[in-house]
Each structure stands twice: as structure tokens, then as C-alpha cells.
Amino acid sequence: MELTEKIVDIIENADGKALATMVPGCLHVVPVSTVKVVNNQILLVNYFMTKTLENILENPKVSLAAWRGLAGYQIKGVVEYVTEGETFDLIVEMVADTLPDRVVKGVLVLTPEEVYDVTATKERPGERIM
């Protein structure tokens, strides 16, 4: 799935971002900070995740919401967790430049399967657009 420039811009420059995971009997939502889109995959940096990581390892289906002002998107997809390799090295280098006090534990690589427009001013908010 190819994400549009507008979707990428909102994801990377959002005022707020929240990641939802779920395992039987437990819905879990956390704020996320460092996010980068590379080759239509959304990379979320793990600095502090414990329960989120446990959930992802049990059930890799997630939902990410990102918004700026009244404009936003919800992206549903599958996450792969990486702690080494090219993607991990790219993120470690990026974080070292921008947030040198942070330690990258891993990277959640989200492959989008569905995208919804959740813009508050839209005539039909929540409409699936991809």
C-alpha cells in the first residue's frame, strides 16, 4: 500500500500519536513519540515499551492514530519487531542525531493494511480511504 504525502506528513509531524494493541481480554493504548515512514512502512521507536511489546509479540495486529489539529488518520496493520539490521541501524542513527539521550531498544515496523480518515471537519469522518 502506498501512503500519500499528506498521510506521511501527518504521521511524521503529528501533534499526537497513539498506538493500540490487543490480546484476549486486554486492550492497550499508549502514546508514541518518534515515528518515521520509510518505503511505506511506519517505523515506531521503542524506548520504554513493556506491555505494548508483550502484546505485539502475542498479536502483531495494531492500530495507529495520528493527528495534527483537526486532521488525522488511523492506520491498521501488522507489526514486526526488529532489534538489529538495516532498519534498526537507520533508526539508531536518526535518534542519535535528534535525541542523543535516548536508547533505542527496538523498532516496530508497521505495514499498513487499512487507512481511515478521521479528520473532525470531514463530512464522513472515519471513512476508509485505503
CATH label of the domain that carries residue 86: 2.30.110.10
How many angstroms separate the CA atoms of 72 and 116, rounded? 9
Q: What pTM was computed for the model?
A: 0.93
Q: Which domain holds residue 100?
A: 5-128
Question: Distance between CA atoms of 99 and 85, rounded to whole angstroms?
Answer: 20
Question: Tens of pLDDT along 34-44?
Answer: 999 999 999 99
Report how many domains make up the chain: 1
Mean pLDDT for all residues in the chain: 94
Q: Please report which helix (H) or strand (E) contains residue 94, including its range.
A: helix 86-98
Question: Which contiguous run of DSSP H or E holds residue 61?
Answer: strand 61-68
Distance CA 62, CA 92 (A): 23
pLDDT per position as a tens digit, 87-96: 999 999 999 9
Cell of 121: 471537519
